[in-house]
Amino acid sequence: MDVVDIIRSKRDGSELSDGAIDWVIAAYTRGEVAEEQMSALLMAIFFVGLTPQELNRWTAAMIASGERLSFPGLGRPTTDKHSTGGVGDKITLPLTPIVAACGAAVPQLSGRGLGHTGGTLDKLESIRGWRASISNEEMRAQLRDVGAVVCAAGAGLAPADRKLYALRDVTATVESIPLIASSIMSKKIAEGTSALVLDVKVGVGAFMKSRERARELATTMVGLGSAHGVNTVALLTAMDTPLGLTAGNALEVAESLEVLAGGGPADVVELTLALAREMLAACGLTGGKDPADAIADGSAMDSWNAMIRAQGGDPAAPLPVAPHRHEVVASSSGRVVRVDALAVGVAAWRLGAGRARKEDAVSFGAGVQMHAKPGDIVTAGSPLFTLHADDEARFDRALDALTGAVDIAAFDAAWSKPALLLERVGA
């Protein structure tokens, strides 16, 4: 094979053969294709796209670049969820133990935050002693004994994606739907789950700003899952407003615990239960315990505690608290009609809750606490946000991000609650 011929072929709009795709992915993973050559191929794909056959084979080659997990002998079906990322998106935390309490096994491989979107592993690492890295053997044992695992993907899982992801980030090819879909689905298929529910975010705080692009991504990923034997469905969900009332690591863990205890913000509860029911249906567990009942009878909280302890964490330990706080108040009275998700995410990032580069450290206590969401009535001088930071010097840039982030209309202004669940894609 000649990588230059492959680049030229895709650049000129031709369909790549299965053999060409298999070779270029394997050779790049081994370091035999130069970074600049793969960069050129990614840019050609960005502009020309991949046919369904090409995309299926590209994804299969990425899966084949490493190991593929399997979980025989668990005595319960496996099901998982993936979110494309948003602000205040803590759903994995309550969702995983709830689904486990309803009889499924959830092998949840998660990631870290980058930029304005938070990462599940960062949130969980705010719990004293909890560790993200566990062996495949530990993962299987925990799924058998507890039914729930949230951990980092091992280095052996889809290593081609690890290299391609970093390259896409520095070559302005991140937004390509075929490349997004193959990146997400190669890891999820290699993970070994039998069923998968995708939460595809739409709006200003999401990577997919338009519903049309989100639908295209969802449809592409559902097709890939089905082609590789994973029962896959997707929900398009709104991300113009942050989820819940917190954006930050320990802040979001605390809010997740409120949900597991039977409280928590209504939008977090609504989305958690909707995804839990989809996950149970996708793996064939219908007619059993309902996710709402798992919260009410305490079994979901028991599952959470067991999951955290199994990975070395202390579920009773106090969560980190940032030493400095700054309150942002309403400048006028009226009804809140908009809270900009991207602005809140950027503010939390600037406070220290997120990172600009993968190697950056995060502050577990930093973040944004919201006191009003769209539909709420506020008075001039009442709190809109509380900012949490380890360093007071971070407040100014976070406040810059929040300038214009909230719209307050007259008390009698017409307002209707926007839908959180927008659309379902799949069987």
**Rg of the Cα atoms in the chain:** 22
Contact in structure between 407 and 336 (CB atoms under 8 Å): yes
Spot the catalytic one: 123, 187, 335, 388. Answer: 187
Of 142, 141, 122, nearest to 132 by C-alpha is 122
Q: Is 183 tagged catalytic? A: yes
Spot the catalytic one: 83, 183, 256, 363. Answer: 183
Strand partners, 266: none
DSSP three-state, residue 230: coil
46: amino acid identity, one letter? F
Spot the catalytic one: 10, 57, 82, 215. Answer: 82
As a whole number of angstroms, the distance between CA 162 and CA 361 comes to 20
Q: Is 388 tagged catalytic? A: no
Phi, psi of 262 (to 5 degrees): 105, 5
93 CB-near residues (< 8 Å, 6+ apart) = 120, 123, 124, 150, 252, 253, 256
Spot the catalytic one: 168, 188, 388, 394. Answer: 168
As a whole number of angstroms, the distance between CA 17 and CA 25 comes to 13
Q: Is 417 tagged catalytic? A: no
Contact in structure between 235 and 84 (CB atoms under 8 Å): no
Spot the catalytic one: 80, 122, 161, 267. Answer: 161
Q: Is 394 tagged catalytic? A: no
As a whole number of angstroms, the distance between CA 86 and CA 345 comes to 8
Q: How far is CA 366 from CA 118, 238, 254, 255, 350, in A?
A: 12, 25, 13, 14, 9
Tokens of 100: 């486990």
* H helices, E strands: number in the chain: 16, 13
As a whole number of angstroms, the distance between CA 401 and CA 387 comes to 12
Q: Is 161 tagged catalytic? A: yes
Centroid of chain to Cα 320: 22
364 CB-near residues (< 8 Å, 6+ apart) = 122, 125, 126, 249, 250, 319, 320
As a whole number of angstroms, the distance between CA 117 and CA 207 comes to 9
The most distant pair of C-alpha atoms in the chain lies apart, rounded to whole Å, by 68
DSSP per-residue letters across 155-192: TTB-HHHHHHHHHHHHTT-TT-HHHHHHHHHHHHHHTT
Query: Residue 425 belongs to what H/E stretch?
Result: strand 421-425
- Active site members: 82, 161, 168, 183, 187
